[in-house]
Amino acid sequence: MTREKIEEYIEVIYELEKNNKIANTVKIASKLEIKPGSVTEFLQKLEKQV
């Protein structure tokens, strides 16, 4: 898990929330052009690091 990847996720979440949208895994995945399961996996790993 690189710093750049973490920043990319945070930017997407910020943009979704800024536009009064809920930043759920489906919307994050859509913006990043990946599968929702990959978002879930990444966020779980990130949570363990905090």
The 3-class secondary structure across the chain, one letter per residue, is CCHHHHHHHHHHHHHHHHCCCCCCHHHHHHHHCCCHHHHHHHHHHHHHHC
Tell me what pLDDT residue 21 has.
84
- Give per-residue pLDDT as tens, 5-48: 999 999 999 999 998 889 999 999 999 999 999 999 999 999 99
Confidence of residue 50 (pLDDT cuts 50, 70, 90): confident
The count of C-alpha atoms lying within 13 angstroms of the C-alpha of 33, restricted to the half-sphere facing its C-beta, is 0
